[in-house]
Amino acid sequence: MLHEIVISGFGGQGALFAGQLLAYGALEEGWHVTWIPSYGPEMRGGTANCTVIISDEEIGSPLTRHPTAAIVMNLPSYERFEPLIAPGGVLVVNASLIAQKSQRADIRIIYAPANDIAAELGAAQMANVVLVGAMLAATGALQFETLDQVLDKHISARHRDKLELNKRALRRGGALAV
């Protein structure tokens, strides 16, 4: 089992947090995992992405040239990563911000209106969690229950009031990939 996942968006959209959720989830399930963040000096508003590799074997390199899955949260991320996804891979597109449609027939594409769903739930900043849910349902990389536990353990005291909303956002995203 090997999942090489890229999560990318503007700084402030929660791409790095989404990657951390996956990395902690992989640790909880006993997998080998790497998490590598990358962001420009601008932080909020600049581009930010991370790579998460989850494997049942030791990981030789924390980098990937052709991810098996990508979550793209904005158009520049879509343009950068859509062509790189390995055939048979999964692309999760934030359809609230990206109108462009992929012409690739060799990957599974999920167009998730993540910002709209997050706003409907009452917390616009949870679009990243909606997208993670869609990716999990499409790939089976981790169990939803594991991410519930990760959220319980790693949501800061400042955001504790949004714990159940995060879990609902995860499930709403998962429902998009069924």
pLDDT tens figures, 127-173: 999 999 999 999 999 999 999 999 999 888 888 888 999 999 999 99
What is the CATH topology of the domain spanning 2-176? Pyruvate-ferredoxin Oxidoreductase; domain 3 (3.40.920)
**pLDDT digit string (tens) for 71-108?**
999 999 999 999 999 999 999 999 999 999 999 999 99
> Which of helix, strand or coil describes residue 41?
coil
CA R_g for the chain:
15
pTM for this prediction: 0.94
> Cα dihedral angle (164, 2, 37, 133), rounded to 10 degrees?
-20
CA-wise closest residue to 7 among 127, 124, 99, 165: 127
What are the extents of the domains in the chain? 2-176
DSSP string, 75-93: HHHHHHHGGGSPTT-EEEE
